[in-house]
Amino acid sequence: MPKLVIIYGTGSHNTEMMARAIQEGARTEGIEVVLENVNDANKNDIWDADAIAVGSPNYNHAMMPTVRKFLSELADIDLSGKTGLAFGSYGWSFEATEGINEILASRGVEMMADLCVKRMPGEDDLEECRKAGVLLARNSKRMEVLYV
């Protein structure tokens, strides 16, 4: 079964709301979905994932240090051919999602367009997140066929 892993950092739960909506959308496609706060994340969940979504809010013009550290710990895992998404809540700038995208793309992950929500997601934003989850799930099914 295709597998999506969603890892997120969050300070005041806005990015967490996005992560949960992405999970909700992906589950409607009947794939396996693992959702983890970066503080509890296990990099061993990543190696057999077909899709990975990594989220961080913007703090001080950067992604959260915990998210950056987690990404650096993936250095010994082959990420090429996976499909990916960078997402996060922001106030006025986009360094967090841009940074996540850049790191994952440089490791060969096929990235979807970044998903950014200003401050606390409203119902329309959450619907966008659910749709992104559906897309990720559909891409992960395609990846599983291509790389098995």
Among 61, 65, 113, 127, the residue binding ligand FMN under the rule CB under 6 A is 61
- Confirm or reject binding of residue 65 to ligand FMN (CB under 6 A): no
Strands of the chain, DSSP E:
3-8, 32-37, 51-55, 83-90, 110-111, 115-118
- Confirm or reject binding of residue 58 to ligand FMN (CB under 6 A): yes
In angstroms, what CA-CA distances link 79 with 48, 76, 101, 108, 124?
A: 9, 9, 13, 6, 31
Among 40, 44, 60, 124, the residue binding ligand FMN under the rule CB under 6 A is 60
Among 30, 93, 102, 113, the residue binding ligand FMN under the rule CB under 6 A is 93
CB of 40 to ligand FMN, least distance (A): 16
- Confirm or reject binding of residue 97 to ligand FMN (CB under 6 A): no
Exposure string for 16-47, b = 16+ CB within 10 A, e = fewer: bbbbbbbbbbbbebebbbbbeebeebeeeebe
Instruction: Name the residue nearer to ligand FMN (CB basis): 50 or 125.
Output: 125
State the residues that interact with ligand FMN by CB under 6 A.
Answer: 10-15, 57-61, 89-93, 119
